Structure 1
Amino acid sequence: MKKETKNKVISYSIIAAVGLLISFVFLRLRSFNAVTLPAERYRLLADAFTIPGIAFMMFGALIWVAGLGALDGISFAVKGLLRRLIPGSRLNSEDNESYYEYIQKKRAKKTRAYMPLVIVGAVYTVFAIIFIILFYQVF
């Protein structure tokens, strides 16, 4: 298997595992095993899959927007503020870096992948919708 394909599989697997962990913790906190009514079980399952689904899609959207440069001004300002507040950081050679130089350096870096988050989040959301449909059929 190619290295790129292997990295994608690992990325999707880790995100899916984190989503399952979030769903499992949610179900444990809501005492899923004690629930006997099918409608209540479907509702809890829908809630458990909605949380990671929507969260992953929103994190993916945030990474996409940040990659487009929408948050560059804020990050430049915060970086400059922290550089002035933290002692010893004024010795940094980037102290007089202009916003234009900062943007050019940032554009040269590779952007982060956001599609695994969006796709896995969409899959979790589809499962949540299926459980919602089952809930309304039983309810």
Structure 2
Amino acid sequence: METRINRLFAGEERAFWLPMSRVIAFEREAGCSIFALFYALGENLGAAESGDMVLIGASDARLKQCHSLISNALIGAGESEQEARDLIQTYCFPARPAIHDAALAFQILRAAIYGIQLPEGSKKKADDATLSPS
């Protein structure tokens, strides 16, 4: 199982990951646990026939929490804090519909909480990544 996901964001494929240090940072910033935000988003998000995420009810989730989560997941995956902040300010609501931010936050949380199954052979072996000494 993997807890890192890749999604199209800000015009390119980007990695999102919440190691424990970023979970703690998010929970301090947002004033709620990752589980509380996951529940608040999950109970009110649904998928339309087109596959788009839609709100199916009122949610206690706040955009500020979603943006904090996305930012912390970008940092966890290797972006600098400044770059993550700039990406949020440039590409999240109001630059795009808020539902996209909520959906991305939910996907990041689902991967962190439940993990995702990667297709067999999609992970490079550690041996392939090491260089042989000359």
**TM-score (structure 2 length as normaliser):** 0.28
Q: Which has the higher contact order (CA 8 A, sep 6+)?
A: 1
Q: Which structure: greater helix fraction? A: 1
- TM-score, length basis structure 1: 0.28
Normalized per residue, the structure richer in strand is: 2
